[in-house]
Amino acid sequence: MPKLPALVMAGGRAKRMGGVEKPAVEVAGKPLLVWVLEALQDCCCVDRITVAVSRDAGVTRSIAERLGAEVVVTPGDGYVHDLRFALESVGTPALTVTADLPCLTPDIVGLVIAAWAAVPEPSLSVWVPRSLIVKAGLSLWRRFESTVGNVRAVVVGLNVVGGLRKTDEFKLLLDEPRLAYNVNTWHDLRKVEGVLRSCPREERAQGLQALKTR
């Protein structure tokens, strides 16, 4: 199994959530960013972790540094521009993930990297069926949709980027409820809070596994 560097995109403020630093918002006792970093740190397929933050995300930067992640400060010129800027520092291929996926787990990260290693395309994006978002009662705001195979699907925010220039991309469709919980609104946050608090912290893996089987 190959090892990849991981880049967490955690810059900017969430306008839909009142301009807060979304990665620093707590859910079930921990900031969103911490849930993601812990999943990456516990995955044997990730060899180093970098967090990309914008200049006005001081709290987010402090959280990343406290957990031992490298930090790159982006210009704050939009997601695509900031992603490219950060990848110039991290290098490619790299696993990229947004900081608002608190139900991410090491097994999902490993599965995605293994899938990328098995396909000829240099890049890979992860998608879930749109029906999972609807079933969970989550917001579809700012969720990019497309058809993958014959399934109406939503992009997750978890990718392997093969290079700085646009490359061929494999679309990986996962019927994975844990990846439906992308926090874009306070409503989404309340939903995922209920999921993560449904089991004791020490039993989080089992609790998220139960979510997977719902």
* CATH code where residue 82 lies: 3.90.550.10
Strand partners, 128: 154
pLDDT of residue 78: 84
**87-93: long-range contacts, CB 8 A cutoff, minimum separation 24:** 87/7, 87/161, 87/164, 88/164, 89/50, 90/5, 90/7, 90/50, 91/5, 92/161, 92/162, 92/163, 92/164, 93/4, 93/122, 93/123, 93/160, 93/161, 93/162, 93/163
Count of structural domains, the chain: 1
For 119-155, what is each residue's pLDDT tens digit?
A: 999 999 999 999 999 998 888 866 788 999 999 999 9
pLDDT band at 203 (very low <50, low <70, confident <90, very high): very low
pLDDT of residue 200: 46
Per the prediction, the chain carries an average pLDDT of 88
Identify which has the larger pLDDT, 187 or 115. 115
Find the domain containing 196 and state its range. Answer: 4-212
pTM of the model: 0.89
Q: What are phi and psi of 172, to 5 degrees?
A: -95, 115
pLDDT of 80 over the 70 cut? yes
Q: Taking the CB of residue 85, how many other CB atoms lie within 10 A of it?
A: 17
